[in-house]
């Protein structure tokens, strides 16, 4: 098996229609175009030999590399130090805009800071997850790659004060190999342009530098709109930038992660495709965006959410819980047998079969988001409200059904407590919105069903012998999803039933502040293999501790969690026993939960220097 870089060794760049991952050795090994959920061009992350890559590294193997982001931006800088010199590879994607396009530009600049360095670049694309053959035409100015479904052009750089003879370009199999000997002060950038089969041209340094400045200024200007001035500003702002990168600008949808097939356990089979938008992210997204002051992003996301609600109501069917970035639902799961998987973790899946599941909690997340936004003055239209009413009426008739739950288990339907909890949230928030504005609704029916759910959870969701709310009715298994109970206002944080539940979670799910979703040995989920601790759940735990009066414990858990981030401040879905990042990367839910936990701590700490945009407690008033 070829050597794979660690997941945590990667940085993320993007243009808000697609994204790329670049390892700290200068290898770009994940890139899908023209959208996040399109087939890959480079997928070396899930098959280092057959997936394709675009590497830029010093020829001297005695290098030491370091990565950082240009402050306030997602412009990635990979620094190489060798005995003969120091150089940087600067990677970024100019913003693509709000109109869907096949034309995307990926800029890779090289800057030699000291001495003389010889770099090697290898461009080895593998279109359509390595399933399509392609042609390559090599020119003195670059190369053109053509597949049946996509073409792209690499425009090689012209370096400042650098003789052209010191740059060699030649064909290497189905790709291109470039060698360049660069002296101190040399700077130039090549551009990989997708959706283009135009002849390549030498990229003048001033053109590339102009793109660099435009990209830098865009991101710093956007981040200046944040009103967060709390204690963990650096971590919160990096999370905000990551969420913006994971937003599909033409629709406003937020994807769960830019990758597919990364394992929850090395060598295991829990390797899912997360390049889609989950309704479940709605509540967290709107809370985070509005809490940080990004009203326009929250409005766009709510527009996307309301479009999904209207579609469901028009077709008299429940919401799907995940969608493609354009709102479509063509997500049939497929296994890519020809790819070996990250470090041998097979199968590599694209699509997501969980789209066919029933997950009742999504209605609570959706209505919680709408209610929170409404409190900020982002009211839904009359038509959207009527469709929301139809959706809530559907929930009144179906909330008492077994479902697959928040964790998308494949072990059959259960009466999951979290699904009932969030159904209660959906009805409660819909009632509050209707009463606030006097909008039409069957309030009496909604109140009756809301109260039925409440009494059922208290009667059947709480296990007296265990002293805890449990994963599903009839079990004694605790589940980290229920950390949300006080946060959504279902139960007071000092209620004895909740305090004993939190103690049960401390005992069963928490390992040195890191939190597992549930114990699979006690609750089989129909899936083989193990998994790590769930980063989102750890941040939920921080918030639950803080709200339950254990503020010092919350602070320690949060600070410990910050040490598990990557060198760039990013989080995957899970963390393994050795601190390794596991699962798809970076994970939006992890960063959403980080923002929420930080804002909660800021709100509850007595000497916080500055508050968030508004107290989070206003969500439930």
Last residue in a domain, options 223, 249, 267: 223
Residue 199 lies in a domain: yes
Residue 197 lies in a domain: yes
Q: With a cut of 70, say whether residue 499 has pLDDT above it.
A: yes
Whether residue 476 sits in one domain with residue 412: yes
Whether residue 413 sits in one domain with residue 459: yes
Q: What is the pLDDT of residues 269-309, one digit of tens each?
A: 889 999 999 998 877 889 999 999 999 999 999 999 999 99
pLDDT of residue 156: 94
Handedness of CA 403, 406, 412, 416 (dihedral sign): negative
CA separation for the pair 137, 114 (Å, rounded):
34
Sole residue written with tokens 């053509």: 146
Q: What is the pLDDT of residues 564-620, one digit of tens each?
A: 999 999 999 999 999 999 999 999 999 999 999 999 999 998 875 544 444 444 343
Q: With a cut of 60, say whether residue 375 has pLDDT above it.
A: yes
Q: With a cut of 80, say whether residue 422 has pLDDT above it.
A: yes
How far is residue 449 from each of residues 400, 403, 419, 430, measured CA to CA in Å?
10, 18, 14, 12
Sole residue written with tokens 């409005």: 299
Whether residue 305 sits in one domain with residue 219: no
Whether residue 269 sits in one domain with residue 216: no
With 0-12 CB in 10 A as exposed, 13-18 as middle and 19+ as buried, what is 524?
Answer: exposed
pLDDT of residue 197: 85
The answer for 602, left when phi > 0, alpha when psi is -120 to 50, beta otherwise, is: alpha
Q: CB atoms < 10 A from the CB of 197, how many?
A: 14
Q: Look up the CATH number of the domain holding residue 533.
A: 1.50.10.10
Q: 157-161, 171-175, 407-411: which has the highest mean pLDDT?
A: 171-175
Q: What is the pLDDT of residues 444-458, one digit of tens each?
A: 999 999 999 999 999
Q: What is the pLDDT of residues 48-99, one digit of tens each?
A: 999 999 999 999 999 999 999 999 999 999 999 999 999 999 999 999 999 9
For the chain, what is the total number of helices (H) and then of strands (E)?
13, 28
Whether residue 184 sits in one domain with residue 136: yes
Q: Look up the CATH number of the domain holding residue 189.
A: 2.70.98.50
Whether residue 496 sits in one domain with residue 414: yes
Whether residue 239 sits in one domain with residue 219: no
Structure tokens at 107: 């800029």
Whether residue 238 sits in one domain with residue 104: no
CA separation for the pair 539, 508 (Å, rounded):
17
What distance lies between CA 503 and its chain's CA centroid?
30
Q: How many domains does the chain have?
A: 2
Q: What is the DSSP letter of 133?
A: -
pLDDT of residue 460: 98
CA separation for the pair 166, 80 (Å, rounded):
20
Bridging pattern class, strands 105-124 and 53-58: antiparallel
* Half-sphere exposure in the Cβ direction for 40 (13 Å, CA): 34
Residue 380 lies in a domain: yes
pLDDT of residue 164: 63
Bridging pattern class, strands 187-194 and 247-248: unpaired
Whether residue 271 sits in one domain with residue 246: yes
Whether residue 242 sits in one domain with residue 214: no
Residue 211 lies in a domain: yes
Residue 228 lies in a domain: no
Which domain covers residue 267, as residue numbers? Answer: 233-620
Residue 269 lies in a domain: yes
CA separation for the pair 533, 514 (Å, rounded):
6
How far is residue 258 from each of residues 254, 345, 416, measured CA to CA in Å?
10, 18, 29
Residue 71 lies in a domain: yes
Find the helix or strand (DSSP H, E) in which 127 lies.
Answer: helix 127-130
CA separation for the pair 575, 581 (Å, rounded):
5
pLDDT band of residue 37 (cuts 50, 70, 90) is very high
pLDDT band of residue 2 (cuts 50, 70, 90) is low
Residue 1 lies in a domain: no
Q: What is the pLDDT of residues 132-167, one digit of tens each?
A: 999 999 999 999 999 999 999 999 999 887 776 588
Tally of residues, the chain: 621
**Bridge partners (DSSP) listed for residue 328:** none
Find the helix or strand (DSSP H, E) in which 220 lies.
Answer: helix 205-223
Angle between helices 362-375 and 281-292 in degrees, nearest 10:
20
Last residue in a domain, options 188, 223, 258: 223
Q: With a cut of 80, say whether residue 360 has pLDDT above it.
A: yes
Arithmetic mean of pLDDT, 350-377: 94
Whether residue 198 sits in one domain with residue 249: no
Whether residue 306 sits in one domain with residue 212: no
What percent of the chain is modeled with pLDDT above 90?
88
Last residue in a domain, options 190, 223, 256: 223
């Amino acid at each position: 098996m070829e050597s794979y870089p660690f997941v945590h060794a990667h940085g993320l760049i993007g243009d808000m229609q697609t994204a790329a991952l670049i390892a700290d050795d200068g290898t770009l090994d994940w890139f899908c175009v023209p959208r996040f959920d399109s087939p890959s061009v480079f997928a070396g992350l899930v098959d280092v030999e057959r997936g394709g890559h675009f590497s830029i590294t010093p020829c001297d193997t005695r290098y030491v590399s370091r990565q950082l982001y240009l402050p306030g931006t997602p412009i990635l800088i990979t620094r190489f130090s060798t005995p003969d010199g120091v150089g940087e590879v600067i990677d970024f994607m100019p913003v693509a805009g709000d109109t869907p396009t096949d034309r995307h530009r990926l800029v890779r600049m090289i800057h030699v800071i000291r001495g003389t360095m010889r770099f090697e670049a290898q461009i080895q694309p593998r279109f359509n997850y390595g399933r399509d053959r392609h042609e390559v035409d090599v020119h003195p100015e670059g190369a053109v790659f053509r597949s049946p479904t996509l073409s792209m052009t690499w425009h090689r750089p012209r370096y400042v004060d650098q003789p052209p003879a010191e740059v060699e370009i030649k064909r290497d199999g189905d790709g291109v190999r470039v060698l360049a000997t660069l002296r101190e002060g040399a700077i130039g950038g090549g551009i990989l342009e997708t959706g283009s089969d135009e002849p390549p041209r030498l990229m003048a340094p001033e053109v590339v530098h102009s793109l660099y400045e435009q990209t830098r200024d865009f991101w710093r200007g956007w981040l200046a709109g944040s009103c967060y001035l709390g204690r963990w500003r650096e971590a919160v702002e990096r999370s905000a930038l990551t969420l913006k990168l994971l937003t599909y600008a033409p629709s406003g949808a937020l994807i769960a992660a830019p990758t597919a097939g990364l394992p929850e356990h090395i060598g295991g089979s829990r390797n899912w495709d997360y390049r889609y938008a989950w309704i479940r992210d709605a509540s967290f997204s709107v809370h985070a965006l509005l809490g940080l002051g990004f009203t326009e992003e929250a409005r766009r996301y709510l527009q996307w959410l309301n479009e999904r609600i209207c579609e469901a109501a028009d077709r008299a069917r429940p919401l799907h819980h995940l969608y493609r970035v354009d709102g479509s639902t063509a997500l049939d799961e497929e296994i890519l047998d020809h790819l070996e998987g990250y470090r041998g973790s097979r199968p590599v899946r694209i699509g997501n079969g969980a789209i066919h599941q029933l997950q009742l909690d999504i209605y609570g997340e959706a209505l919680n988001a709408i209610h929170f936004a409404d409190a900020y003055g982002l009211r839904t239209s009359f038509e959207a409200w009527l469709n929301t009413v139809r959706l809530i009426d559907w929930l009144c008739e179906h909330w008492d059904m077994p479902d697959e739950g928040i964790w998308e288990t494949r072990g059959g339907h259960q009466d999951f407590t979290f699904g009932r909890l969030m159904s209660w949230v959906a009805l409660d928030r819909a009632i509050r919105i209707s009463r606030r504005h006097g909008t039409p609704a069957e309030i009496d029916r909604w109140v009756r069903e809301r109260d039925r759910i409440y009494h059922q959870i208290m009667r059947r969701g709480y296990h007296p012998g265990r002293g805890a709310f449990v994963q599903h009715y009839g079990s004694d298994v605790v589940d980290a999803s229920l950390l949300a109970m006080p946060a959504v206002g279902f139960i007071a944080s000092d209620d004895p039933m909740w305090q004993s539940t939190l103690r049960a979670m401390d005992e069963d799910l928490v390992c040195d502040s890191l939190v597992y979703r549930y114990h699979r040995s006690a609750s089989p989920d129909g899936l083989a293999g193990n998994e790590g601790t769930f980063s989102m759940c750890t941040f939920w735990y921080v918030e639950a501790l803080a709200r339950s009066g254990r503020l010092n414990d919350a602070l320690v858990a949060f600070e410990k969690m910050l040490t598990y981030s990557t060198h760039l401040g990013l989080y995957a879905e899970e963390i393994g026993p050795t601190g390794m990042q596991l699962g798809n990367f970076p994970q939006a839910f992890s960063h959403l939960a980080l923002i929420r936990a930080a804002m909660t701590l800021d709100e509850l700490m007595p000497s916080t220097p500055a508050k968030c945009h508004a107290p989070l407690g206003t969500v439930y008033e």
